[in-house]
A = this chain, B = another copy of it.
Amino acid sequence: MTAPEPGIGGSLPEGLALEQRDDAPVRMYHVSKSYLAGTFALHDISLSFGRGEMVFLTGSSGAGKTTLLKSLFAAERPSEGQILVLGRNIARLEGSAIPFLRRRIGVVFQDFKLLASRTIEENVGMALDVLGTPRRENRQRTFQVLKQVGLQHRRLHHPLSLSGGEQQRVAIARALVNQPQVLLADEPTGNLDPELTLEIMDLIADAATRGTTVIVATHDVSLIERYGKRTIRLEGGRVVEDSPATGRAA
């Protein structure tokens, strides 16, 4: 598939598609990213993700899923192209504006990125601290979200004393706690057993029904099949497949 040009022109069906895109919280135009000269982690990617949309991002190891997600919260700058997230152009964003953008985006990192020196509660509350949330509210919301991922009883422990799957759930709780407008989850269930995977994915899907744009990178084919959401497949940094949600007409 070829990516549509940004702008206003085009035939009616194109125009409709563009209209949907124009207020989409996440839009990528011809984005390329090259870490090493001559190779591309992302290659000319144009995609748009609507409000309340939930999308699966799949593709083999090294296809560029993580890089795509990183570019959306300004952890990597694209080598080429424009990225609009919540109305801001990431390619042109000043360093000082990045934190404000990130506070509206929840991220589940592939490697969790929990602070070993802080308790679970503190790790999750961190996402509220940076917003200046009052103490009491912070504790309440942290407790709530930890309960949702089934870890409220571990809230005073430290990440290193948690199992892999428990750590992953803490990472998910931190991404959800401040009710972000965009939720990026990188392989969020790689360390969870099948039942927990469904529970957690339901939590994530819930966020989408509340209007959050959700992008989930995953290798789990059964998960993709089960949810029947829009699925984008990357291969060598290119979009090789963009199948709409099975609930909608193709």
As for how many copies of this chain the complex holds, the number is: 2
B192 touches A164 (CB 8 A): no
0/1 string, A151-190, CB within 8 A of B gives 1: 0000000000111111011000000000000000011001
Select A193's contact among B59, B67, B161, B192, beta carbons within 8 Å. B59
In the assembled complex, A79 has its CB within 8 A of some CB on chain B: no
Tally of chain A residues near chain B (CB < 8 A): 32
Instruction: Point out the residues of chain B lying under 8 angstroms from A194, CB to CB.
Output: 219, 221
In the assembled complex, A140 has its CB within 8 A of some CB on chain B: no
In the assembled complex, A89 has its CB within 8 A of some CB on chain B: no
| Nearest neighbor of A161 in chain B, beta-carbon distance | B35
| Nearest neighbor of A60 in chain B, beta-carbon distance | B193
Task: Quote the shortest CB–CB distance from A226 to chain B (angstroms).
Answer: 13
Residues on A lying within 8 angstroms of B by beta carbon are 35, 58-62, 65-67, 110-111, 161-166, 168-169, 186-187, 190-197, 219, 221-222
